[in-house]
Amino acid sequence: MRTTVKTGAAALAAAAALLLTACGSSGAGGTADAAASVPAGSQSAGTLLDTPFAKPALVLTDNHGKPFDLVKQTAGDPMLLYFGYTHCPDVCPTTMSDIALAESKLPRADRDRLKVVFISSDPTRDTPARLNAWLGAIDKSFIGLTGNFTTIQAAARSVGVGIDPPVKEKDGSVTVTHGAEVLAFWPKDDKAHVLYMSGTTSGQYAHDLPRIIRSEAP
């Protein structure tokens, strides 16, 4: 399996020209075994968006096999949104593990408020059961969503994230191209105000999450 990570319109608009990043080959699982410790004195890596994105109007199937209305079921909650897939060899599990470690540093009340949503860019293979097992190994509170690819692609594009349909190669491998952005939605207006690119550390997320929860710029 191969993965290509590409920057989307949000990144280009907010952080100037960025290069495509090709990920390495996939192993059997794709889940990171360990996350780095949170370094002291971490600073924000987020980019404040000049024009916040509205939350995508999506009803998909969650990792428990139930319908999930993204707008209604996260209304008034701070939310981190990421488009990726469970067979990803590196970027996706690293990103989600870094977020999980940062979230673990929050007070219980803030952890209960924060919604972390992972929407599959490979929904044919990412069944609810697959999402539940994969996310459960990272953080059981994370929400996984799967469904129709065209619907998911349109939602991703609405927030400036580019994803392409998975391509099965002649050798049987699968190439999946997806954006590496994490979008942070403020609870006060349910809009994405902050953009994080691939490479943001757990320490940087830990630095910013309390501010995201308060609808403040990091």
Of the listed ranges 19-23, 66-70, 94-98, the least confidently predicted one is 19-23
CA distance 156 to 122: 13
Q: What are the beta bridge partners of residue 184?
A: 80, 194
Query: What is this structure's pTM?
Result: 0.83
Confidence band, pLDDT 50/70/90 cuts, at residue 132: very high
Nearest to 142 by CA among 166, 165, 164, 120: 120
93 or 173: whose pLDDT is higher?
A: 93
* pLDDT (0 to 100) of residue 175: 87
CB proximity list for 30: less than 8 A, separation 6 or greater: 86, 87, 88, 89, 92, 93, 134
Can you read off the two tokens belonging to residue 37?
């410790």
Q: What is the mean pLDDT of residues 34-43?
A: 45
* pLDDT (0 to 100) of residue 5: 46
Q: Which fold has domain 2-16+48-213?
A: Glutaredoxin (3.40.30)
* pLDDT (0 to 100) of residue 42: 61
Q: Could you tell me how far CA 120 lies from the centroid of its own chain?
A: 9
CA distance 111 to 45: 21
Confidence band, pLDDT 50/70/90 cuts, at residue 29: very low
Q: Give the DSSP letter string of 136-170.
A: HTT-TT-EEEE--HHHHHHHHHHTT--B---EE-T
Q: Give percent of the chain above pLDDT 90.
A: 72
Rama region for 132: left / alpha / beta (φ>0; ψ in -120 to 50; rest): alpha
What is the DSSP-derived secondary structure letter of residue 190?
A: T
